[in-house]
A and B are shown apart, each in its own frame.
Chain A
């Protein structure tokens, strides 16, 4: 995609952004250590790194959210001080945050001009923005209905509004923080086309992501960060995903899982015509039927918000539903007294929830307290009817942390002080060690370092090989494809279809995730 002649010519002029010796510490934590980086004008530069590597801190310094302890920033060759975000905007920097900062009940136009109104009256600003929006959408495939309310737009369109906002503020440099986390593959491809278009018009783009595929596909150059340091900056065409992963983690990483073919046994989980209406009265799951057998991993693919979350919640015992669910052939209570999480656990269902920070763990609890969360009523953890056996729990947790390689292996450390991967290992250790018949796993590797992903995937496959049934929900197609023995795609509360991972690819799954039928049929 890169135009080499163009690039070589540009390298002789001043870089769009140059960072020299940036350092930033939060208390004892050195988030950025002497970072230097140069991004050529008119290029797409990727920054990869594990969680906590310092990517976000670096970009926040560039956007004026944090003040660097040391170092200098040059924009277009000019030394620039960026004390706050308005200074960043003035310097031509625009940022598209991971979580959009839009006013939901405003129209697209109103959002675009918000904070940039030309005077007391809105009309001239709106007219000006409308004109500009039209030009931009023609140029870059950035088409959005200017009069639509933001809350009625799809996530992909909302993201375009964010980009339009930045362009309206005359940004020459666009920073995108994990932009594809919420997009379908098709939407992501569309985004990349927009980015390439912007790049070709001379804009400079910095793309922060942890998805190596995207880096390889769209960037011109890429920097790798690890533990606050910039470990390498390379031309994308000269590198490979394996090399980048190694640079990120600091050791060789297996990106593919080695697993034997599944040997499915008796059905453990049977769902018939499940329907879920949430608290707001919205129908989330519209008649789902499926089956998971012993010794197999059923993967559910789908963009988040299409009913997978509610499906897991029903099985986990904290969402009411109608329909029939059988576990080991016995029907379970979906609305009554025995529809809570405790009853589910008694049925042999273990659950690694999608959001470990707000569901799976209590961030202010110590590791040992978290290690029994949900199982705290079990006799093994209690001295008598009243008291918990704290010492026994602590000892058991210490052993578990050892087995699951949780670092640091200190049961008295609060959950919030562990990295994402280690937090997930605590949850996984708790749920897998129960030896459940059925394991529900939601987004097992979201926000987890590459090194830990490998370990977590191995644990899940091992449990399958012991003959347990596993229901996996993930928005990461790579993960679904490499782990699952069968794949179901959910869209708008329905099952769009079932595929055999051997006979499908991301493209086909992506179409199903967007609600389009394919002719693949059931495998």
Chain B
């Protein structure tokens, strides 16, 4: 009954979009007189050709998985959470407060508490706009955007104030205790005899991201709460008929969303920087929107989209490094084109593909 098979929806269409995006960015590169094939191959190699590069790709992908999942959960309850950026930033405070509170003996003990701290702070930052939406009808898009700015100001205030490392000129906290160090992929694989780049930032948070993806799937499609969230998201009117509380769902979905966005600081603040710095989110909250869009708000799709965006981030850096004629701005254009095609211009590809499948089906019958 569907217009096309599921695999076409989930795999084929993003793939076609990606190819189209590469062709268009190829022309842009050509237009400034550079070699598009070389540029693309540097990007792909730059993302995957060594364990160091894979380590960076996975590090970025981890961030995008968290923020993508955050956007998706809110989206299933028909809310557009633009506030991943701010929720992640504030969650960093939660992680820092937890990790600086004790001299943690081992990361396995520190991690659950850091997750609690980061998740709680992110959730609170999402819960306020949720409350304003549920009770005061303030549009969540507007409030979450405003809360991004408030979060940025808060971070500046805290890191220039009580959280500031007194021995540093920079707005940053003191380093976390050594016992809070999360194992990197290098440290995780070394005991197994597998070599992996020592300096790559990817760490155990990548596994946490995969676990969160499973958790989101389980929540949405296996639990009563997920059922209610999806029902509310599809039709708030029907949900009220069924006695599903709009207030409850709005609050819970946003709290989960904020907590997921907050997991980003486990990867960045606890895993990579090992101290709280001011601007560690770096747009990952916004990239999460594109990731969720491209991943069709499904955890599997989000994992794949996040990996792609991770490759773009790392490949883009290498492109700038290896091909100095292609500037930072040019890299942004290429990344932007890919986001545009895979996210926003989805329907451009979808319609023709649907038609082709309809033809094929007619041919069969």
Contact = CB atoms under 8 A, between A and B. Distances in A.
B282 interface: no
A317 B242 CA distance: 9
Nearest to A346: B243
Interface in B145-200: none
B53 to A, nearest CB: 40
A504 B98 CA distance: 77
Contacts, number: 76
A326 B76 CA distance: 37
B241 A353 contact: yes
A382 to B, nearest CB: 6
A340 B225 CA distance: 17
B231 A340 contact: no
A290 B169 CA distance: 77
Contacts of A382: 224
B241 A369 contact: no
B358 A359 contact: no
Contact of B241 (A364, A374, A376, A387): A374
B203 to A, nearest CB: 30
Interface in B237-264: 237-238, 240-245
A417 B362 CA distance: 19
A361 B222 contact: no
Given A374-B243, A382-B224, A388-B224, A27 B3 contact: yes
Contact of B358 (A28, A374, A417): A28
A359 B237 contact: yes
B227 interface: yes
B227 A388 contact: yes
A358 B362 contact: no
B228 interface: yes
Contact of B228 (A316, A340, A364, A376): A376
B83 to A, nearest CB: 26
Nearest to B245: A340
A351 interface: yes
A360 B222 contact: no
Given A318-B241, A343-B243, A28 B234 contact: no
A351 B234 CA distance: 20
B223 A362 contact: no
A486 interface: no
Contacts of A360: 238, 241
A386 B245 CA distance: 18
B1 A373 contact: no
A129 B234 CA distance: 45
B131 to A, nearest CB: 19
B1 A317 contact: no
A151 to B, nearest CB: 23
A390 B231 contact: no
Given A28-B358, A28-B362, A377 B224 contact: yes
A25 to B, nearest CB: 8
B9 interface: no
B361 interface: yes
Interface string B213-233: 000000000111101101100
Nearest to A408: B1
B244 to A, nearest CB: 8
A390 B224 contact: no
Contact of A316 (B3, B224, B234, B241): B241
Contacts of B241: 316, 318, 341, 351, 353, 359-360, 374
B243 A373 contact: no
A341 B228 CA distance: 13
Contacts of A361: 238
Contacts of B234: 362-365
B238 A317 contact: no
Interface string A340-351: 111111000001
A342 B354 CA distance: 41
Interface string B3-16: 10000000000000
Contacts of B222: 387-388, 390
Nearest to A383: B222
A348 B225 CA distance: 23
Contacts of B235: 358-359, 362-363
A413 B1 contact: yes
Contacts of A373: 231, 238, 242
Contacts of B240: 318, 341
Which of B223, B228, B237, B238 neighbours the largest number of chain A CB atoms within 10 Å of its CB? B238
A345 B244 CA distance: 12
Nearest to B228: A376
A387 B217 CA distance: 12
A353 B240 CA distance: 12
Contacts of B225: 386
Contacts of B238: 358-362, 373
A417 B1 contact: yes
Contact of B227 (A318, A351, A376): A376
A390 B222 CA distance: 8
A318 B241 CA distance: 6
A386 B237 contact: no
A319 to B, nearest CB: 9
Given A27-B3, A358-B235, A413-B1, A386 B243 contact: no
A351 B241 CA distance: 9
B365 A28 contact: yes
Contacts of A386: 223-225
A369 B243 CA distance: 15
Interface in B317-365: 354, 358, 361-362, 365
Contacts of B230: 362, 365
Interface string B129-157: 00000000000000000000000000000
A3 B182 CA distance: 92
Which of A342, A361, A374, A413 neighbours the largest number of chain B CB atoms within 10 Å of its CB? A374
Interface string A67-111: 000000000000000000000000000000000000000000000
Complex A-B, nearest 7 residue pairs according to Cβ-Cβ distance, in ascending order: A341-B243, A342-B243, A374-B242, A27-B358, A318-B240, A359-B241, A417-B1
12 contacts: A318-B241, A345-B243, A353-B241, A360-B238, A365-B230, A373-B238, A373-B242, A374-B242, A374-B243, A376-B227, A388-B223, A388-B224
Given A341-B240, A369-B227, A376-B242, 15 more contacts: A27-B354, A28-B361, A28-B362, A28-B365, A316-B241, A340-B243, A340-B245, A342-B242, A358-B237, A358-B238, A374-B241, A382-B224, A387-B222, A390-B222, A414-B1
